[in-house]
């Protein structure tokens, strides 16, 4: 872990219109994540953790405050520029893996590279390498419905990592898995982190959050530091 | 710059293959969606090809019969009600003219023995009419110049007349009564083409007699309708101008005494009528295309809703809005072009069959195909635009929440 800052949030607020009123979802959030960190954001449903993830992942922008990711101010970017940042800097892993059913595992992994405009040959090579890394070298041409839940999630992780993003952003990555495959996925995350990848994982499950090296709690839109396990 | 063009091309290629796999993955639904376009394009192509085959057939028969002829009809003035024999002679001696045939027609009661028939079409022609086309007479002899000069009571009859009045008897040399006047039958007319559309236009008649005789029977001494056959290589426009000049002099330059109609003029009128009809029909058929386009739009809107999660995911993976839009646009474009190509195939088969049945020449019309492809592509882009835009504007968070 270096001392270089990857993402920094200062005084982030987010309001959403709820009927007549504006709901205050995120309240004055300050958060700094350094390169190579493995952070978990722990919070119950309705705590605002999904909104926080959307802002971290550049899917959404804050109502107020400043957010810097990989040295770029995110607040004032257009939709197209946000897409470019997502393509370059962020790899998403969702709860239900979210693979496209009509594409093979390899094609699914290639998808982010298609939007980044990577030529076909290099795309194939990188997708193959990534699938080998997550232990699916014999499942490249299988379709999602021919894969188990754990395998699907590993394809999703390969897809998130194939563009070599600076941040791996996971939303309840084990939510749809049984305990054993969940542990396997967590092991993969730890391995990726050991290799130097920065990971932010959002979860409601303290047992899963415990895999991370640092944990923050979010309750009612307020963030509290849960302590750095290494330093503790 | 070059790099971004390359990137775009790579992206477009992927969009094509993804769209194709989406279309093929939903075969039944895609086919049903495409059916509207298919029917529209097939109908447009079948109509255009059939009508153009019809007009081709029509104009070739016009050519065979009418090129190089003018037909003149005379209304006359107070001083001069029609053309005298001398006038006609003068016209037939013009440089542009090879010969002329007066048309004197009457409706008569024809009888022989106990048989009779009323309202028989009898026309008076001259010797030149038969001289020009030897095949008009099937048997016997034609009208001779002497018949013309002496107004002899001779006639030629059609096969049909022969069967009516001379069953089992050789009519040549026999007598037939036209409006009570005995006529000697001198020949039988061949009835080639007697049932074509053109015989109706050219006023096919049952009995032909010398025109001088016909004038007498009508109690007239002038001809009010005649056909001018132009000399070889004469342009019908020039000839008609020369003829009009000559006839203007004959009628002392009074206006509206006669009209000269060229066959090409009739053909032009005919063709413009046909093209109007075909445009109208194609217009009606293109309603089917619009309906088909709405079908595609509906399917695309459904698809966008169904694939909300896919759209959200792609956006999260870094797809920018226009990449999403172009993908859906390509999908609707492909759908309707597939429909268009199938429609062209069906339309061509249909029009080939129609042409065969109606005995017309089938012409493979490239413009019809271009029209079909162009139309369907335009429909795809036009009706795919709104759904594609909707997809591209989906908020990725909302889209992901749907999962």
Neighbour tally for B158: CB within 10 Å? 21
Query: Which residues in A lie closer than 8 A to residue B322 (C-beta atoms)?
Result: 80
Q: Let me know whether B240 and B317 are in one domain.
A: no
C-alpha A130/C-alpha B325 separation (Å) is 29
Choose among B11, B320, B403: nearest Cβ to A114.
Answer: B11
Are B318 and A94 within 8 A, CB to CB?
Answer: no
Establish if B83 belongs to a structural domain.
yes
Which helix or strand (DSSP H or E) is residue A214 part of? strand A214-219
Average pLDDT, chain B: 84
Residues of A with CB under 8 A from a CB of B: 54, 57, 59-60, 79-80, 83-84, 86-88, 92, 94, 96, 98, 100, 102-103, 111-112, 114-120, 159, 163
Q: Let me know whether B249 and B277 are in one domain.
A: no
Query: Which residues in A lie closer than 8 A to residue B331 (C-beta atoms)?
Result: none
Which helix or strand (DSSP H or E) is residue B351 part of? helix B321-358
The pLDDT value recorded for residue B199 is 46
C-alpha B321/C-alpha B300 separation (Å) is 17
Condensed to tens digits (0 to 9), the pLDDT of residues B290-338 reads: 888 888 888 888 888 888 888 888 888 888 888 889 889 999 999 889 9
- Quick one: angle between helices A120-133 and A149-161, nearest 10? 130
pLDDT, average across residues A176-192: 87
Are A92 and B317 within 8 A, CB to CB?
Answer: yes
Torsion of the alpha carbons at B306, B334, B393 and B304, rounded to the nearest 10: -10
Lowest mean pLDDT among A26-30, A86-90, B22-26, B53-57: B53-57
Choose among B318, B320, B397: nearest Cβ to A60.
Answer: B397
| Helices vs. strands in chain A: H and E counts, helices first | 7, 10
Are B397 and A119 within 8 A, CB to CB?
Answer: no
Q: Let me know whether B151 and B289 are in one domain.
A: no
Q: Let me know whether B161 and B195 are in one domain.
A: yes
Place of tokens 């039944």: B28
Q: Let me know whether B273 and B182 are in one domain.
A: no
Establish if B127 belongs to a structural domain.
yes
Average pLDDT, chain A: 86
The pLDDT value recorded for residue A198 is 92
Task: Give the residue on A whose Cα is nearest the Cα of B322.
Answer: A80
Do the Cβ atoms of B293 and B335 come closer than 8 Å?
A: no
ipTM computed for the complex: 0.84
* Residue A46 to chain B, least CA–CA distance (Å): 14
- Quick one: angle between helices B27-66 and B263-306, nearest 10? 180
Q: Let me know whether B49 and B80 are in one domain.
A: no
pLDDT, average across residues A41-46: 87
Q: Let me know whether B82 and B116 are in one domain.
A: no
For an interface test with A, the pick among B10, B315, B317 (most A C-beta atoms closer than 10 Å) comes out as B317
**Region class of A83: left (phi > 0), else alpha (psi between -120 and 50), else beta:** alpha
For an interface test with B, the pick among A48, A114, A119, A167 (most B C-beta atoms closer than 10 Å) comes out as A114
Q: Let me know whether B114 and B182 are in one domain.
A: yes
Q: Which residues, given as ranges, of chain B have pLDDT below 70?
A: 1, 61-67, 191-204, 401-403
* 322-361 in chain B: CB under 8 A from chain A: 322-323
Residue closest to A139 by CA, chosen among A123, A120, A156: A156
Choose among B6, B310, B318: nearest Cβ to A83.
Answer: B318
Q: Let me know whether B290 and B396 are in one domain.
A: yes
Domain range holding B162?
A: 104-222
Q: Let me know whether B277 and B383 are in one domain.
A: yes
Query: Which residues in A lie closer than 8 A to residue B396 (C-beta atoms)?
Result: 59
Establish if B349 belongs to a structural domain.
yes
Establish if B70 belongs to a structural domain.
no
Q: Let me know whether B92 and B24 are in one domain.
A: no
Establish if B3 belongs to a structural domain.
no
Query: Which residues in A lie closer than 8 A to residue B310 (C-beta atoms)?
Result: 100
B321 touches chain A (CB under 8 A): yes
Establish if B306 belongs to a structural domain.
yes
Are A159 and B317 within 8 A, CB to CB?
Answer: yes
The two tokens of residue B2 are: 């070059």
**Count of domains in chain B?**
3
Establish if B180 belongs to a structural domain.
yes
Instruction: Map out the domains of chain A with their CATH numbers.
Output: 37-58+79-228 (3.40.50.300)
Establish if B311 belongs to a structural domain.
yes
Coarse DSSP helix, strand, coil percentages of chain B, rounded to the nearest 5 percent: 60, 15, 20
Q: Let me know whether B289 and B252 are in one domain.
A: no
Task: Give the residue on A whose Cα is nearest the Cα of B397.
Answer: A59
The pLDDT-based confidence of A155 (bands split at 50, 70, 90) is: very high
């Amino acid at each position: 872990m270096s001392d270089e800052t990857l993402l920094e949030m200062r005084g982030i607020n987010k309001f959403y219109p709820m009927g007549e009123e504006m709901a205050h979802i995120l309240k004055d959030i300050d958060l700094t994540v350094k390169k190579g960190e493995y952070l978990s954001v722990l919070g119950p449903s309705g705590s605002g953790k999904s909104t926080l993830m959307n802002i971290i992942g550049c899917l959404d922008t804050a109502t107020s405050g400043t957010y810097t990711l990989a040295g770029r101010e995110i607040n004032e970017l257009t939709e197209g520029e946000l897409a470019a940042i997502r393509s370059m800097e962020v790899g998403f892993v969702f709860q239900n893996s979210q693979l496209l059913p009509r594409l093979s595992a390899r094609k699914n992994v290639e998808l982010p590279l298609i939007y980044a405009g990577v030529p076909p040959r290099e795309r194939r090579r990188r997708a193959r390498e990534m699938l080998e890394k997550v232990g699916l070298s014999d499942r490249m041409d299988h379709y999602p419905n021919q894969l188990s839940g754990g395998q699907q999630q590993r394809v999703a992780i390969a897809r998130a990592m194939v563009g070599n993003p600076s941040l791996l952003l996971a939303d309840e990555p084990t939510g749809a898995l049984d305990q054993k495959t969940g542990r396997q996925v967590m092991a993969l995350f730890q391995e990726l982190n050991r290799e130097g990848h920065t990971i932010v994982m959002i979860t409601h499950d303290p047992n899963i959050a415990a895999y991370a090296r640092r944990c923050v709690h979010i309750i009612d839109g307020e963030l509290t530091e849960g302590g750095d396990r290494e330093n503790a | 710059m070059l790099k971004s063009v390359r990137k775009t091309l790579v992206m477009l290629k992927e969009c094509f293959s993804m769209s194709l796999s989406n279309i093929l993955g939903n075969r039944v639904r895609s086919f049903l969606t495409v059916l509207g376009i298919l029917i529209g394009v097939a109908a447009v192509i079948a109509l255009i090809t059939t009508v153009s085959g019809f007009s081709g057939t029509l104009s070739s028969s016009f050519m065979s019969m009418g090129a190089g002829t003018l037909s003149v009809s005379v209304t006359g003035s107070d001083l001069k009600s029609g053309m005298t024999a001398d006038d006609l002679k003068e016209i037939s001696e013009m440089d542009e003219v090879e010969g002329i045939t007066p048309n004197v027609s009457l409706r008569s009661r024809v009888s022989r023995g106990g048989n009779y028939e009323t309202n028989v079409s009898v026309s008076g022609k001259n010797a030149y009419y038969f001289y020009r086309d030897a095949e008009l007479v099937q048997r016997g002899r034609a009208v001779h110049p002497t018949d013309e000069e002496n107004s002899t009571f001779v006639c030629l009859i059609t096969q049909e007349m022969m069967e009516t009045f001379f069953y089992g008897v050789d009519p040549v040399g026999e007598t037939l009564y036209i409006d009570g006047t005995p006529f000697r039958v001198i020949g039988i007319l061949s009835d080639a083409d007697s049932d074509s559309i053109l015989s109706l236009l050219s006023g096919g008649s049952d009995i032909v007699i010398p025109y001088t005789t016909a004038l007498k029977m009508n109690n007239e001494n002038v001809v009010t309708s005649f056909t001018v056959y132009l000399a070889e290589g004469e342009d019908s426009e020039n000839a008609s101008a020369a003829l009009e000049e000559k006839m203007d002099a004959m009628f002392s330059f009074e206006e509206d005494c006669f009209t000269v109609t060229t066959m090409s003029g009739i053909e032009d009128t005919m063709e413009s009528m046909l093209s109007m009809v075909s445009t109208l029909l194609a217009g009606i058929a293109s309603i089917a295309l619009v309906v088909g386009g709405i079908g595609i739009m509906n399917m695309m809107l459904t698809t966008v809703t169904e694939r909300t999660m896919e759209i959200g995911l792609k956006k999260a993976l870094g797809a920018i809005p226009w990449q999403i839009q172009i993908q859906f646009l390509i999908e609707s474009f492909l759908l309707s072009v597939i429909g268009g190509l199938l429609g062209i195939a069906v339309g061509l088969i249909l029009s080939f069959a129609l042409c065969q049945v109606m005995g017309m020449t089938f012409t493979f019309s490239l413009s019809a195909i271009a029209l079909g492809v162009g139309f369907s592509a335009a429909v795809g882009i036009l009706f795919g635009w709104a759904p594609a835009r909707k997809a591209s504007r989906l908020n990725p968070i909302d889209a992901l929440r749907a999962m």
